[in-house]
Structures are given as C-alpha cells and as structure tokens.
Chain A
C-alpha cells in the first residue's frame, strides 16, 4: 500500500460553521505533503481529525490504513504530531519532557537512552537538557516538540505550522531535518504560511474555506496557474475563490 493518508468527503462542522467541507485528498507514502491555505481555512481542523483529536462529522478517512472514525488508538501509536501551539510541559526540563513521552510510548531503557541522545543531537539541544522548556526561545521549543514527536519512530509525522514565528536559521535547520526524515521513508504532512518552504514539498494541497481548491506538485501548480512562483499561485487562488463566492452571493 503506498498511501499514508487517504480521505474522502471528510467534513467537520462546529455548530453551523463548516470548518472542513467534503475534503478528499491523498498523501503518498514517503512524501512531504505541504498543506497551504489562509488563516481559518481549516488546516488545523483537518489535521486534528486525522490525528484522532476531533471526530469528523461525516466522511471517511484512513491514516496508515487505519480508519479515523474507529481506529484512532492504532493511529496514535504510529504517528508523531506537533500542534500549532506549543503543547509540552513548560515546567519540565527538556530532558524530563523527553523522558515523559519516552515512557508514554513505552521505550525500553536502552532504546530510550539511545533515542534521547540521537534526538537531542539532531535538534541541537545539547547543553540545554536541564533547561526548563518554558524558558526556551521559540525556535528551540519547536525543535524540542519535534524531538518528542519523533521519539517512538513514527511512520507518519504531522506538523501544524512548525516554523511559525521561528527565525530563518532555525527554519532552515528544521526543514533540513524534515527532508532527512523523508529520505528515511517517513511521510510528512506539514502546514505552513511560508512559500519558500512549500516550494520544497513533494506535493501541495491548497485549502480555502474548508474546500480543497488545488492539489499537485509545486511546479504543476505554478504551470497550471500560469504564474511565476507559488506565492502568486496562493494569491491568485484566494482572489479567484473570493470573486467566485461574491458572484455566487450576488446571484442569490
């Protein structure tokens, strides 16, 4: 099987508001899938449904072959997730946070030591093991969160705006790690508002008002829209959709 995520007609309503509207998308295994869209377009909501944090209102979806409605616990064992807001314990140190999640993911003593060393090294957190997570600056916090999400060697990594508010150097380091993970065969679903990051993804999905407007490789999208770069794709798609909706309302 070579799809990591597959969803059909996935919909989430909060009361009257439709946050995600009949979303159908496929993420191939081993690829980096960039999930783009303006604020409030439904990216986080989609991700939360895939992780089992929210129950879809209607629709179908599988993650790593498991059903999102009924097998969310199987999914949780196999994915790594970084939420948009820092959600590790600020009153624990770097090492204590890693230890806690290592225990929760049932890493044996030897494996735990090895993974911790590897990840601290990878994230460049060496020397900060005893620092409280709350006192780390933005970029370091994100790298710690990534380390915690990777402890149990997940097959699929889901990152919700991992580089928001992070300086360019840290962003570069972060994306180097993401590409390295993809080379090792891990599938990555990542949301971002930075088009330079999106440019390096294998696939792009563009979502607006809960609808998937376009999907393809970055180059395909640029060619299809007949523009120079991804940023223009983004802006054109938003303008087109807004014009379409305004016209729709005018008719009504």
Chain B
C-alpha cells in the first residue's frame, strides 16, 4: 500500500464540513439528541429504591405500635400509602400494585410489649421486582433489629445492668460516592452510552449515503485511498462529537450535580480517543451495509450488547469469564471504566492505562477491518 496523501485527506475533510453545515437538521440532531437522551435517561435510570409504598394493618393501636411504624417511615425507604384492616384489602392492594409491602401488627402487640414478652410483626412483600423486594427485606430486618436492641437495652437498664455492650461492631465508610446515590454512578455511564450511540449512527450513514446517491461511483474512479477517505470522513465528526460531549458533560455536572473528581483534560483527551473509536465503528458498519436502513439496523443491533456487556447495567465482575471477554469487544467497556474512574474516583492515567490500551487496540482493529472490508469497487 502506498503512503497516505494529506491533500486528498484534507479535501475529504473540507467537503464533509461543507456537507455537514448544509445539512442543518442532521447537525441539530447530532448536537441536541445527546442532551435530550441524558435528561430522559438521567431520570429514568435510577436504581435507588426509595419510598416503597406500604400498607399498614395496625390491629393494636398504641404509642408503642405507632412508634414502630414511625421507625419504618423515618428511614424514607418506606412510605405509608394506606391504613387497612384486613388481609383482603392487603391482597387487593398488592395485586393492583398500589403497594409493594404490607406491615401487619398483630392484636396482641401492645399487650406482649407491655409485659416484655417476645412478639413478632409480619411483613408481606411483593417479590416480582427483586430489587425492591431485597431492599424491603433487608431494610425491614434492620429496622426491627435496631428496635429490638433498643428495647433490650431499656430492659437491661431497668434491671440495673447498665448499658448493653455490643461485642462486635462494623465501622463502614463509603469512599468515592459517600451517599451511595445511584445517579452519581449512572450519569458517567449514561454519558458514555449516549455518545457511543449518537456518534456511531452519524458515520454509519456516511459511506452508505454515497453509495445510495451514486456519488461513490465517481469517488472510486479517483486515486483516493480508503484510509484517506475514512479518516477524512470522521475528522469533522470528531469535532461535532466533542462539542456535544462537552454539552452533556456540563449538564451532568451542573444539572444532575455529579462532580468530576479527576482531571478534566485527561477526561477530554480520552473521550476524543473514544469518539474516534465509535466513529470508526460507524464507518465499519457503513462498509458492510448496502442501504441506510441496513446501517441503522446494524447500529441498533450493536447497542443492546453494548448496554448489557459493557458493565453499564450489570457489574462485569459477576459475569462469567466468557461474557467478560465478549465485553472486551465493546469499546464502551473501556470507556465506562475511564469515565467512572475519572468522575467518581478522580484517578489518573496510572490507574487507567489498561483501558486506554484496550480501547486503542479496538480502535486500530476496527480501522483495519474497515479498510479490508472497503473495496474500491461497486459490486
């Protein structure tokens, strides 16, 4: 293969810039779509479980039983949606989904408490959403245990034995995202996912459009080389993508309040690498697809695995090894590590070099495959 000719590359860049500028609707979509998606998903993808709707059947109203209910509400994990007075009502509400849990305090609660006898309360949980069910179970357990210990302490004090000393304690301190808000974890991932999808689609159309319009025929009877054409085509989109990335970054930090702990310049540099990778992925799709519709379908076919395998939805560590390897074929995997590392932990390149190497290798691989796929023929 002969060497790369800058003049030819530059002609393609200039031509693409003019075409992008004239195609206002597409440009607007490229710039505005990421913002819209971030707003939309920023609110939708919230895995924190708060305000689980709870029905309360208090068959033994008293200060003591009301105190227990208050303990539930005070955690803000549960919210009392209704007071009921039969299992029938509870069943109906669980069925129609107006509540997810029901707390049942038996008729002998107050009496047994007064006598310091052990007593159980019952909780019915809708298990169809395991995330909610798990949170409800563990939180309810904690609340009741905590209340039990308090009661035990009071009892011991009354008997004059003084404070109850716990023989074993756990002192946890959460680093990086101290309030464990899922939005802080999700926003960086969302930024990566959105940028991947939008930029991939931008270039997925570019070669196919030339094929469909017939302009490719004229282009391939010139001495232009595939590499010059492809790099020329993605260059202007790196600019568009970077601009859009910065907008999304601003919304992420100022609107959703997710601060960037690490170096912004490192983040931007690595984002350029990521944008180049996803744009090349789009070009690759463009070399395979025959029509713009096909290109669109292929791009969408890539989005699902990248959501599932990259660690965006589920932690990669808990995946089977083979699936983890497959995740290595998705550039988003590396970028998520980079984004979360820089956003949440404030790490620098020392901690990220493996991901940078992974992403660069993927970038070169996809470029090579695209060049091998691209034939200067019209068959």
Contacts and interface: CB of A to CB of B under 8 A. Distances in A.
Interface of A: 48, 51-55, 72-73, 76-77, 79, 81, 83, 85-92, 96, 99-106, 145, 148
Contacts, number: 79
B220 interface: yes
Contacts of A48: 378
Interface of B: 5, 7-8, 10-12, 14-15, 18-19, 22-23, 213-224, 376-379
Contacts of B223: 73, 76-77, 104-105
A52 B217 CA distance: 10
A85 to B, nearest CB: 5
B117 to A, nearest CB: 85
Contact of B221 (A81, A88, A90): A81
Contacts of B224: 104
Most buried by A among B8, B15, B22, B222: B222
A85 B216 CA distance: 11
A79 to B, nearest CB: 7
B8 A87 contact: no
Given A87-B214, A88-B215, A104 B378 contact: no
Main secondary structure, interface of B, reads: helix
A103 B22 contact: no
Contacts of B376: 52, 72-73
B23 A91 contact: yes
B292 to A, nearest CB: 16
Given A104-B11, A106-B8, A148-B218, A54 B379 contact: yes
A105 B214 contact: no
Contacts of B23: 91
Contact of B377 (A53, A77, A86, A101): A53
Nearest to B375: A55
B378 A53 contact: yes
A111 B18 CA distance: 23
Nearest to B225: A73
Given A89-B215, A104-B11, A55 B377 contact: yes
Given A52-B377, A87-B215, A91-B23, 16 more contacts: A53-B217, A54-B377, A72-B376, A76-B222, A83-B218, A87-B213, A89-B19, A90-B213, A91-B22, A99-B14, A100-B12, A100-B15, A103-B10, A103-B11, A104-B222, A106-B7
A71 to B, nearest CB: 12
Most buried by A among B7, B15, B378: B15
Nearest to B216: A87
Contacts of B12: 100, 104
A83 B5 CA distance: 25
A66 B379 CA distance: 21
B18 A92 contact: yes
A88 B19 CA distance: 13
The 4 closest A-B pairs by CB, nearest first: A103-B11, A87-B218, A87-B214, A81-B221
B378 A54 contact: yes
A43 B137 CA distance: 77
A52 B377 CA distance: 7
B253 to A, nearest CB: 37
Contacts of A91: 18-19, 22-23
A118 to B, nearest CB: 20
A101 B218 CA distance: 10
Contacts of A148: 218
Contact of B5 (A90, A101, A106): A106
A101 B222 contact: yes
Nearest to B220: A53
A91 to B, nearest CB: 5
A90 B218 CA distance: 13
A72 B10 CA distance: 23
Nearest to B19: A91
Contacts of A53: 217, 220-221, 377-378
Nearest to B379: A54
Contacts of B216: 87
A83 B217 contact: yes
B10 A85 contact: no
B379 A55 contact: yes
